[in-house]
Chain A
Amino acid sequence: MNNNNSWKRILWLLSGVGFLIGLYGLYARLTLGHTDANYGSYIPWGLWVAGYVYLIGLSAGAFLLSTLVYVFRVKILEPIGRLALFTAVTTLVGAMVLIFLDLGHPERAWRLALHTNFRSIMGWMIWLYTGYFILLLVELWFASRVDLVACAGNPGFSGRLCRFLSFGSQDVSPERAAKDRHTLRILGTIGVPLAIAFHGGVGALFGVIGAREYWHSGLSPIFFLVGALLSGGALLTFVTAIWGPDVKSEKGQKLVLLLGQITLGLLAFDVLLEWAEYSIGLWNAVPGKTNGLLLTLKGPYWWVFWFVHLGLGVIVPGLLLALRGRSISAITTAGALIAVTFLSVRLNFVIPALAEPELEGLRTAFTGPGLTFSYFPSVSEWMLFIWAISVAALIFLAGTQLLPLTPKEA
């Protein structure tokens, strides 16, 4: 437990500091608009879009794993159902903050809902996200209801919050609890296609862009889903080890070991898909198509692929999980590594496709801010990104303190 408490303290500290220094990014975005950013005309999407894809993937992955509890009723995973749902909620909030501020005119975001163009995959997104968000909250409520009623009697803020969130519900009878479980199963069942649709949809959003060979693949949605499961699964493994049932208990230990194995399996599958993308792409008969891939492997940011992704995101955690799969700390570290470094996969998906001129000669034809094919996020871009992540993390941390996210006996 001590170990866990120190993890928690570190995370509170990191998120708090991240939130404060990240405020600079928010300030820069609000006062300077997009002039302080390094994306522009030729590379129109940067860290914020990649960060959004990353966070939304974490959310979808965590949610899909929660369905193992509520739809497929995998008993052993039951204690972490709510943690998974709450992880999905907070990462979704972080993603929405980022993509909202990325818009050229965030004040017109309502147009997405009221003037939706359903021929655009992005048009679908707003509806899928809204549906998903509502579903998450309702599901979380049903999953926590009994415990909310119980903690409503607690003194202090937590008790008041529980009282408020139980919305007057008092019934804790076993019949009512069984009814809740039934409702949860229905909600979760609706959630599965919804989560697949919206995260596969994010992959499709890129996949349909025929102008960018790098994105234009039927594998893109699949790649996104598997990536979501992997990164979300890894994050959930980490979260479970810290906030889940006591890892000293047999039940807690089993749970983390199982999640570690699931993560390892997903990692292997993800590597397989990646191998397919890279080997087919590089072994291409038309050389132009390979440019984006070569850029990730040999371009100015080659280390993102080799060190961050392959080293810290695949090899180290892969070895930890395969060779030290019975050590809780090894599994926790592996989960954290995969979850954090997965940002590099998203960056390496979004940026290289844009970093190749569509026409020969564009690079030098007319220059100016944003009329360039190289990109590294600016300080204020990093800061806003850190801020969004910290907001999500702080909500999560506060939730773990105030809400009944794990069953009491755990």
Chain B
Amino acid sequence: MSKVEEATAVTAVTTRRNFLRSVVGMASVAAVATPLARKTATPASGSRNTIQSTPAQQVTAVDGPQDPLERMRADLARALQKPEAERRWVMVIDLRKCVGCTACTISCVAENHLPPGVVYRPVLEEEIGTFPNVAKRFLPRPCMQCDNPPCVDVCPVGATWKRSDGIIEIDYDQCIGCRYCITACPYNARTFDRGFVYNDESYVDNSVTFVGVADAEAYEMAAPYEYGEERPRKDGRSPIGNARKCHFCLHRLEKGMLPACTTTCIGRATYFGDASDPDSLVADLIASPNVMRLKEALGTEPKVYYLQ
């Protein structure tokens, strides 16, 4: 833990953050220890013990002394100075640090007011091995914002496209809801908004009294900030009836904020930034040898990278 403490002292943030950071650091290190040990131990047999005692700093070293969130915010601010076409937004997810808490999934649901049946960033759980030699791997799966997106060309009305900064956008007013794009995505990253709401009778358990139901309902029906548009949830209006997917929180980026999943990741496993800026944290990370992308063989060129 010494490295973590040292780092926090250097960045001289508030005492409260120091506390949180230490706790988070401990939690993530504890949680990744087993899968890390299992994964890396397999090829070189007998090395398990050494690996298991890997000190925390090896796991967090890539972050440097600075809080990665602070660094990413600075990276983001720099990227926003450039014209849109010169930015290359990428996300990096460190699988060794992901603890499978799904905070990112939920923060995304909250940020974008996602209804039942729509999810932008589920965390997939995979069990590797057989008992007692099992490890769990958690894999958060946002939209890959493919550089060669198979979902774009199939749209019969051109309602979805790749922006010059690489984010794949959907225009909810143009989308006719044919769902062709959903079938074309090799990552199941698009979902269909059928018009459900969480506060619907069929979801609410009347035998239990929930506190704050009215507020939650108001929140759910209120317009999210997606694509910077005002879209309250009512009368079957878009995005109801549309295909929906992760957009790297474009609306937040434009205001200089990191995506919701990135800021809420308690394991500090999610990184975000402009890969065309050589000084950015993500540019460092995607240069690591242990980087991989999902279904690389398809040639979709995802802009979400995983570290393993």
Are B176 and A366 touching (Cβ within 8 A)? Answer: no
Are A210 and B153 touching (Cβ within 8 A)? Answer: no
Are A359 and B294 touching (Cβ within 8 A)? Answer: yes
Are A105 and B241 touching (Cβ within 8 A)? Answer: yes
Are B188 and A359 touching (Cβ within 8 A)? Answer: yes
* A363: nearest chain-B partner, CB-CB: B124
Taken together as a complex, chains A and B put the C-alpha atoms of A40 and B194 apart, in Å, by 7
Are A34 and B176 touching (Cβ within 8 A)? Answer: no
* A122: nearest chain-B partner, CB-CB: B156
Taken together as a complex, chains A and B put the C-alpha atoms of A361 and B155 apart, in Å, by 27
Taking a contact as CB atoms closer than 8 A, the residue among B176, B195, B238 that contacts A111 in the complex is B176
Asked if B232 is an interface residue, CB under 8 A from chain A, the answer is no
Q: What residues of A have a CB within 8 angstroms of the CB of B298 in the complex?
A: 210-211
Taking a contact as CB atoms closer than 8 A, the residue among B118, B124, B194 that contacts A33 in the complex is B194
Taken together as a complex, chains A and B put the C-alpha atoms of A365 and B127 apart, in Å, by 13
Main secondary structure of the interface of A (DSSP, over half): loop
**Interface membership of chain B positions 245-275, coded 1 if the CB is closer than 8 angstroms to chain A and 0 otherwise:** 0000000000000000000000000000000
Q: What residues of B have a CB within 8 angstroms of the CB of A262 in the complex?
A: none
**Interface membership of chain B positions 167-211, coded 1 if the CB is closer than 8 angstroms to chain A and 0 otherwise:** 000000011111110111111101111111000000000000000
Are B156 and A104 touching (Cβ within 8 A)? Answer: no
Are A40 and B174 touching (Cβ within 8 A)? Answer: no
Are B122 and A33 touching (Cβ within 8 A)? Answer: no
Are B122 and A362 touching (Cβ within 8 A)? Answer: yes
* B237: nearest chain-A partner, CB-CB: A105
Given known pairs A104-B177, A123-B156, the reply for A34 and B122 (CB within 8 Å) is no
Please provide the chain A residues from 120 to 145 with a CB less than 8 Å away from any CB of chain B in the complex: 120-123, 125-126
Q: What residues of B have a CB within 8 angstroms of the CB of A102 in the complex?
A: 178
Asked if A357 is an interface residue, CB under 8 A from chain B, the answer is yes
Given known pairs A362-B122, A371-B117, the reply for A45 and B156 (CB within 8 Å) is no
A101 to chain B, nearest CB (A): 11
Are A41 and B182 touching (Cβ within 8 A)? Answer: yes
Q: What residues of A have a CB within 8 angstroms of the CB of B155 in the complex?
A: 117, 120
Are A120 and B176 touching (Cβ within 8 A)? Answer: no
Q: What residues of A have a CB within 8 angstroms of the CB of B125 in the complex?
A: 361, 364-365
Taken together as a complex, chains A and B put the C-alpha atoms of A368 and B195 apart, in Å, by 12
Please provide the chain A residues from 369 to 393 with a CB less than 8 Å away from any CB of chain B in the complex: 369-371
Please provide the chain A residues from 343 to 360 with a CB less than 8 Å away from any CB of chain B in the complex: 353-354, 357-360
Please provide the chain B residues from 104 to 123 with a CB less than 8 Å away from any CB of chain A in the complex: 105, 116-119, 122-123
**Interface membership of chain A positions 88-128, coded 1 if the CB is closer than 8 angstroms to chain B and 0 otherwise:** 00000000000000111110110110011101111101100
Interface size, B (range): 35 or more
Given known pairs A112-B157, A370-B192, the reply for A211 and B178 (CB within 8 Å) is no
Interface size, A (range): 35 or more
Are A359 and B192 touching (Cβ within 8 A)? Answer: no
Q: What residues of B have a CB within 8 angstroms of the CB of A205 in the complex?
A: 180
Are A105 and B176 touching (Cβ within 8 A)? Answer: yes
Are B174 and A120 touching (Cβ within 8 A)? Answer: no
Are B156 and A126 touching (Cβ within 8 A)? Answer: yes
Q: What residues of B have a CB within 8 angstroms of the CB of A42 in the complex?
A: 188, 191
A108 to chain B, nearest CB (A): 5
Q: What residues of B have a CB within 8 angstroms of the CB of A193 in the complex?
A: none
Q: What residues of A have a CB within 8 angstroms of the CB of B123 in the complex?
A: 365-366
Asked if A212 is an interface residue, CB under 8 A from chain B, the answer is yes
Taken together as a complex, chains A and B put the C-alpha atoms of A370 and B191 apart, in Å, by 9
Asked if B65 is an interface residue, CB under 8 A from chain A, the answer is no
Taking a contact as CB atoms closer than 8 A, the residue among B117, B156, B158, B242 that contacts A105 in the complex is B242
Asked if B48 is an interface residue, CB under 8 A from chain A, the answer is no
* B141: nearest chain-A partner, CB-CB: A359
Taken together as a complex, chains A and B put the C-alpha atoms of A191 and B236 apart, in Å, by 39
**Interface membership of chain B positions 291-303, coded 1 if the CB is closer than 8 angstroms to chain A and 0 otherwise:** 0001000100000
A50 to chain B, nearest CB (A): 13
Asked if B68 is an interface residue, CB under 8 A from chain A, the answer is no
Taken together as a complex, chains A and B put the C-alpha atoms of A274 and B134 apart, in Å, by 42
Are B176 and A108 touching (Cβ within 8 A)? Answer: yes
Asked if B282 is an interface residue, CB under 8 A from chain A, the answer is no
Asked if B126 is an interface residue, CB under 8 A from chain A, the answer is yes
A44 to chain B, nearest CB (A): 4
Taking a contact as CB atoms closer than 8 A, the residue among A104, A123, A125 that contacts B175 in the complex is A104
Given known pairs A33-B194, A359-B294, the reply for A104 and B178 (CB within 8 Å) is yes
Are A211 and B183 touching (Cβ within 8 A)? Answer: yes
Please provide the chain A residues from 1 to 42 with a CB less than 8 Å away from any CB of chain B in the complex: 33-35, 37, 39-42
Q: What residues of A have a CB within 8 angstroms of the CB of B124 in the complex?
A: 359-362, 365
Task: List 17 interface pairs A-B (beta carbons < 8 Å), by A numbering.
Answer: A39-B192, A41-B182, A105-B176, A111-B159, A115-B157, A116-B156, A120-B153, A120-B154, A122-B154, A209-B150, A209-B183, A210-B298, A358-B186, A359-B187, A361-B126, A365-B141, A369-B194
Apart from A112-B156, A122-B178, A366-B123, 4 more pairs, CB < 8 Å:
A34-B192, A40-B194, A119-B153, A354-B183
